[in-house]
Amino acid sequence: MGHNTKINVGIFGASGYTGFEAVRLVKGHPAMRLCFATSESAAGKTLSDIYPVSWAIPLISAAEASLSEVEAVFCCLPHAASMPTVIAAREAGVRVIDLSADFRLTDVEVYRKWYQVPHQAPELLAEAVYGLTELNRTQISETDLLANPGCYPTSILLAVAPLLESDLLDPAAPMIADSKSGVSGAGRKPSLKTHFVEANENISPYNLGQSHRHVAEMVQVIELLGGDGGNLIFSPHLVPVSRGMLATVYVSLAKDVSSTTLHELFLDYYDDKPLVRVLPSGQVATMAHTQRTNLCVISVTPVNARQLILCASLDNLGKGAAGQAVQNFNIMFGLEEVAGLV
């Protein structure tokens, strides 16, 4: 650790939306010092050249980054591109919080199937911990390689985890997640899909059913929690907001459960988890509950004694990405879980 007890960190991939949000959080964090920020497309510029901020933080290419200066790095690179950087960081003894999908899946064949490339570091998978913070605190505190979850999985898994762990779900019924994501979730690289005129005044479903890559990590966690991953039906929708995510999740229960019992189950489950908030009975989570925060807000709405609707809201760049990354960093380094996040 540097003087004043600050921890030196680096950020790979700082020019994308997630990387930029990581910079924002690291800058404001009481116990981190930002040593470098990389960007291949903007190397040689500063962040103020590519975002409307005054932060004269230099962007360097990854090749110039000095791993020996830092104790930890945040990798905000695309999948596949992240692996070499993670390997190098781990070889240098640097702890890694990887925001890509590269270390989320424990099975290399599953990885190859969904991401269409072979895994380059199967040996590191053994030490990687899936950083859905509220489910894995102990493991997270001990790992040197944290695989930060996707935004869709974070919202959906936090919504269903209390039911899975209580073994309350009907094992024969589909678990349907109808998700709505703000456009920043699609990244900063221009495309027709993210063109203002195409996304504005529109709602677009895409990769419906079991075809979106995030299905893989959700299935993995659902099965770890004793559920049947094959029951998951996942429908992402692109919606005309800049930041925000809302999952509306429909589940069937294995037996009749009263609305009070269900609500208390959720309150108890998240009672000691400071970045998840369960709404009072009768309220419904909206995107506005969490925008520009690092929270996940969940509402529990029974339809009848066997059918339940869960709404989970988070900011796709906050609890859905950089916020959860910092939350995991805090746990890895023995800091207060919410340091720099509220």
Which residues are catalytic, by number?
151
User: Which of 129, 287, 321, 325 contacts a copy of itself by CB under 8 A?
Assistant: 287
Q: How far apart, in whole angstroms, are the C-alpha atoms of residue 185 and residue 64? A: 28
**Residue that the structure tokens 């960190």 belong to:** 9
Task: Rule CB under 8 A: choose which of 139, 194, 259, 281 binds a copy of itself.
Answer: 194
Q: Choose which of 54, 56, 255, 256 interacts with a copy of itself (CB under 8 A).
A: 54
Please give the DSSP secondary-structure letter assigned to residue 29.
Answer: -
Stretch near a copy of itself under the rule CB under 8 A, chosen from 81-89, 161-169, 255-263, 301-309: 301-309
DSSP per-residue string spanning 46-91: BHHHHSSS----B-B-GGG--GGG-SEEEE-PPTTTHHHHHHHHHH
Alpha-carbon torsion, ordered 196, 197, 200, 204, to 10 deg: -100
**How far apart are CB 252 and a copy of itself at their closest, in Å?**
7
Q: Which is nearer to a copy of itself, 52 or 334 (CB)?
A: 52
Amino acid in the structure at residue 14: A
Nearer to a copy of itself, 96 or 199 (CB): 199
Binding of residue 273 to a copy of itself (CB under 8 A): no
Contacting a copy of itself (CB under 8 A), which of 126, 197, 255, 334? 197
Compare residues 117 and 288 and give the one whose CB is closer to a copy of itself.
288
Residue list 73-132, contact with a copy of itself (CB under 8 A): none
The binder of a copy of itself chosen from 92, 117, 303, 305 (CB under 8 A): 303
Strands 175-181 and 245-252: antiparallel
Residue (of 133, 122, 137, 26) closest to 74 by Cα position: 26
* β partners of residue 312: 247, 298
Q: Among 10, 14, 19, which Cα is nearest to 317's?
A: 19
CA gap 228, 174 in Å, rounded: 9
Residue among 277, 281, 333, 338 that touches a copy of itself (CB under 8 A): 277
Convert 149-188 to b/e letters by CB count within 10 Å (16 or more is b).
bbbbbbbbbbbbbbbbebebbbeebebbbbbbbbbbbbeb
Decide: is 135 part of the binding site for a copy of itself (CB under 8 A). no
Shorter beta-carbon distance to a copy of itself: residue 116 or 191: 191
Candidates 63-71, 123-131, 140-148, 289-297: pick the segment binding a copy of itself (CB under 8 A): 289-297
Helix 151-165, helix 133-142: angle, nearest 10:
100
Residue 180 as a binder of a copy of itself (CB under 8 A): the answer is: yes
> Per CB under 8 A, does 240 bind a copy of itself?
yes
Q: Which is nearer to a copy of itself, 94 or 249 (CB)?
A: 249
**Residue 256 sits in the site that holds a copy of itself (CB under 8 A):** no
**d(Cα 277, Cα 268) in Å, to the nearest integer?**
11
Binding site for a copy of itself (CB under 8 A): 17, 52-54, 173-174, 176, 178, 180, 183-184, 188, 190-192, 194-206, 208-210, 233, 235, 237, 239-244, 246, 248, 250, 252, 277, 284-289, 291-292, 297, 301-304, 307, 309, 311
